[in-house]
């Protein structure tokens, strides 16, 4: 039996009602503090951005549900119009992004990530930026720095599915999708990571492995070949749905490890994940927002003053 069959049924759980505005605001504040202060002690959080809740045993079971329905939406056809190409499936989008990722040069002095948090219609956007040098030094700009670029006193910590990894490890991860997935899973299994329910069980480790793959295609400073392997590994999960073209790329939908609906916009021509409602900060945890996180992640030689 396929290892994912055992939890496919869980993915049919109804979506939970959204959080209160007060809880959303508190969660957003937590996320931006985490992005700006990598030295802050971490607790593992999941669910809505506002939730900030430790995992319970029930949530751990639901966390195995990375479910996904696979289909595309066909455009309306006019008999007098020229033939149109069939829409891309989610798997085709992810595999095309993998091919594009392999062509991106791994050059630059700084790994740059910009996040624009838009907390729903009419909300004022909040921007956070950070630059990480290859020696681990970090510069940030955001709410806490009042728009100025400031250097942090401690090196950035990187979380890959839960356990900390070094910058050097991120540069030498496997470039084969099966081996990459196995490396992340084994690292989680032999780590000292704890959740609200204690040591992660097998279902939770599968969920955390998916989180690690997701963070590699979004914000972690790994190599282009490893990022391509992460795209291919995610493409092998059953049932990611492509809901069609949207500004910036193709919108893919799936279930979060806790059973919430998540989506991301992928440009298959550039391999960039440009927008999502599910974010994994560099130092761990998972956050959802009722709005979206717009992302830029790339190597650069420019460090603003």
Q: What is the DSSP code (8-state) at residue 18?
A: P
Which residues face 195 on adjacent strands?
Answer: 198
The answer to whether residues 252 and 93 touch, using CB atoms and an 8 Å cutoff, is: yes
Residues 193, 287, 111: CA angle, nearest 5 degrees: 80
- Whether 13 is covered by a domain: the verdict is no
Residue 207 lies in a domain: yes
pLDDT per residue over 25-72, tens digit each?
Answer: 555 555 555 555 544 444 444 433 333 333 344 444 444 444 444 444
Q: How far is CA 157 from the centre of its chain?
A: 16
| 218/227 Cα distance (integer angstroms) | 9
pLDDT of residue 82: 55
Cα–Cα dist 236/98, whole Å: 12
Does a structural domain hold residue 288?
Answer: yes
| Max intra-chain CA distance, the chain | 65
Dist CA 231 CA 35 (whole Å):
24
Within a domain: 9: no
- Domain coverage including residue 267: 20-70+86-300
How many domains are there within the chain?
1
pLDDT in tens, 269-295: 999 999 999 988 887 888 889 999 999
Per-residue exposure over 230-254, b if at least 16 CB sit within 10 Å of its own CB, e if not: bbbbbbebebbbbeeeeebbbbbbb
Q: What does the pLDDT look like over 208-244, one tens digit per residue?
A: 999 999 999 999 999 999 999 999 999 998 879 999 9
| DSSP-based three-state secondary structure for 155 | coil
């Amino acid at each position: 039996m396929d290892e994912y069959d055992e939890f496919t049924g869980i993915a049919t759980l109804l979506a939970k009602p959204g959080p209160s505005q007060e809880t959303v605001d508190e969660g957003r504040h937590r996320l931006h503090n985490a992005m700006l202060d990598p030295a802050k002690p971490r607790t593992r959080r999941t669910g809505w951005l506002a939730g900030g809740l430790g995992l319970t045993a029930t949530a751990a079971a639901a966390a195995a549900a990375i479910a996904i329905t696979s289909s595309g939406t066909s455009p309306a056809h006019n008999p007098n119009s020229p033939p149109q190409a069939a829409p891309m499936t989610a798997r085709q989008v992810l595999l095309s992004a993998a091919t594009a990722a392999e062509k991106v040069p791994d050059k630059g002095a700084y790994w740059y990530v910009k996040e624009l948090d838009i907390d729903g219609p009419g909300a004022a956007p909040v921007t956070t930026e950070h630059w990480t040098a290859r020696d681990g030094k970090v510069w940030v700009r955001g709410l806490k720095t009042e728009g100025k670029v400031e250097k942090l006193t401690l090196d950035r910590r990187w979380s890959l599915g839960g356990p900390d990894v070094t910058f050097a490890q991120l540069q030498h991860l496997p470039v084969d999708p099966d081996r990459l997935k196995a490396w992340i899973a084994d690292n989680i299994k032999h780590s000292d990571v704890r959740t609200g329910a204690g040591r992660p069980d097998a279902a939770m480790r599968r969920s955390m492995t998916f989180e690690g793959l997701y963070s590699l295609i979004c914000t972690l400073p790994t190599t282009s070949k490893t990022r391509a392997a992460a795209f291919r590994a995610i493409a092998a999960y059953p049932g990611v749905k492509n809901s069609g073209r949207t500004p910036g790329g193709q919108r893919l939908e799936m279930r979060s490890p806790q059973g919430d609906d998540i989506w991301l916009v992928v440009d298959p021509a550039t391999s960039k994940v440009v927008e999502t409602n599910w974010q994994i900060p560099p130092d761990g945890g998972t956050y959802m927002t009722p709005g979206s996180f717009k992302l830029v992640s790339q190597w650069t030689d420019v460090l603003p003053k």
